Every structure is written in C-alpha cells, then in structure tokens.
Structure 1
Amino acid sequence: MFEGRLINFFLQELRSFSALHKKEVIIEPTEPYFKLTFSLDSMKNVGIGGFVQYPVGWGSELQFEFKTDLTYVDQFIKGLKKILTRFPQKI
C-alpha cells in the first residue's frame, strides 16, 4: 500500500535521481500489484518501465516501457508531493 512514509522515501529517491546522483530508482510497494523502475542512460535519457496487475494476484498484468526526460520526472515528484499534502503521513 502507498502510505506517507513510503511516498516520502520514494520522493527522496526520485529527487536524488533527478539531481543525477542515482542512475536507477525502483518503486515497489509491499503489495505486489505494481512496480515502477526509473533508469538513466549515459545520454541522460530517462527510461521508465514496470507493470500493473488487476485484480491483484491473479488478474491481467499490463507491462510497459517508455523513454522520457528529467522534466517529466520532476512533474511526477510534484504529483507525489500533492498526494502527501492531501493525505499527510500519519505518525
């Protein structure tokens, strides 16, 4: 499940990725229904791949892979921040 602590961790990882300190970030919650992998090649192009499964555990699985650039990673980071604003981390 996506919850505040996990989203904060992914935000830190993605910020590091966006600042070119990491070449790969894997977002894989404890429930195995989806996975996102962000990778950076030598030309600083971003590859995003992963899968989504529904219903969880036995349903169809959509696998995807595409290329983009760091500006879209920054937009994804902004979206995660909005989720945390709307649904703050519970202590």
Structure 2
Amino acid sequence: MPIAKLTSRDESCDVTIESYAYAYPDADNIHDAAWHRNWVGLHTPDHRITFDDVMLDSLLVAHYIPVFESFVAGDMQEVEFEPTEPYIRLTMTRRDTDGDEVTVKGYVEHPLEGESEELAFTFETSVSNVTRFLEGLQAIADAYPIRDL
C-alpha cells in the first residue's frame, strides 16, 4: 500500500497518509470514483493521533504532485497541503532559497469520542524529506489513478 510520509529531521515527528482502497469502488462518476480510503497518523513527542477515513482523492493527489515538484525544485518557497475532511493542513516553507531547511506548520482536526479535537504543531524537516513525501504521493497516484468512467 502506498504511503506518503513526512518526517522531521530528528524523526521525532511525522505525518503519514496511506491510501489503501478506493472509497466507492462502484461509483458511476469521476468525482465519487476518485475518493480513497486513508489511514492517517500524526506522531509528535506529545501526541499520537491516528484515524481511518475518506480523505484524499485521485484528482487532489494529481493536483499536488506538480506543486510539490515545484517546491522541491526551489521554484516555490511555500506549499500548503490541504486534503479534505477530516481536516489536516501542512504548510511547508523553505527557510532559504538554496538550502535544505524547511519549516512545517501543521494543523489537524479529528473526531475523538464524538468531539472534535484540534492540534497545531510545528517541526523542522529537509527538502529531501519533502521529496520522500512527494514520492509517496506519486506512489498513491500510481496505485489509485483517476478512473476513466
């Protein structure tokens, strides 16, 4: 199963998104047919959050791949990754134009015992770790392409 994982430099934090099936395998239109089932994990020194839900879709993954390619190439200084609900947002900012330092500011909102819990987090990573995240998105796109209906 394809996994997009973004880790901090010291590996104390990570955000993991795994697509493992189409959410609506019998869908009769391109939009419903694009949705994936996803396992999502956020691990920080203080938190361990996991959930399983319908979050990514093939159209969104296809949109983000060239965005991350531009970021990794240095053509963009910031990228915001914002899949659909349950809500998660990652904002990655290059700290210098030609270096390897990237700041990740994230936010996750997920249901916990019927209530919505919100968590903001920040960690430092590298362009090479963002490249591995991009490779995971590409693997998800390969495993769950946009279906031609």
State whether TM-score is above 0.5.
yes
TM-score (norm 1): 0.86
**1:1-91 equivalence runs, <5 A:** 1-31=55-85, 33-42=87-96, 44=99, 45-55=101-111, 58-91=115-148
Gaps of 5+ in 1: none
Distance 1:89 1:53 in 2: 27
Distance 1:17 1:42 in 2: 12
Distance 1:46 1:24 in 2: 9
Gaps of 5+ in 2: 1-54
**For 1:59, what is the secondary structure of its paired residue?**
strand
Q: Which protein is bigger by CA-based radius of gyration?
A: 2
Calculate the aligned-residue CA RMSD, in Å. 1.8
TM-score (norm 2): 0.55
**For 1:22, what is the secondary structure of its paired residue?**
coil
Question: Partner letter of residue 53 of structure 1?
Answer: E
**For 2:56, what is the secondary structure of its paired residue?**
coil
Distance 2:126 2:75 in 1: 15
Q: How far 1:32 moved relative to its partner?
A: 5.9
Moved more, 14-23 or 4-13: 4-13
Q: How far 1:42 moved relative to its partner?
A: 2.1
The superposition leaves residues 33-64 of structure 1 with CA deviations (integer Å, 9 ceiling, x where unpaired) of 111111111263111111111119x5111211
Aligned residues: 90
Q: How far 1:31 moved relative to its partner?
A: 3.1
Distance 1:39 1:16 in 2: 13
Higher strand share: 2
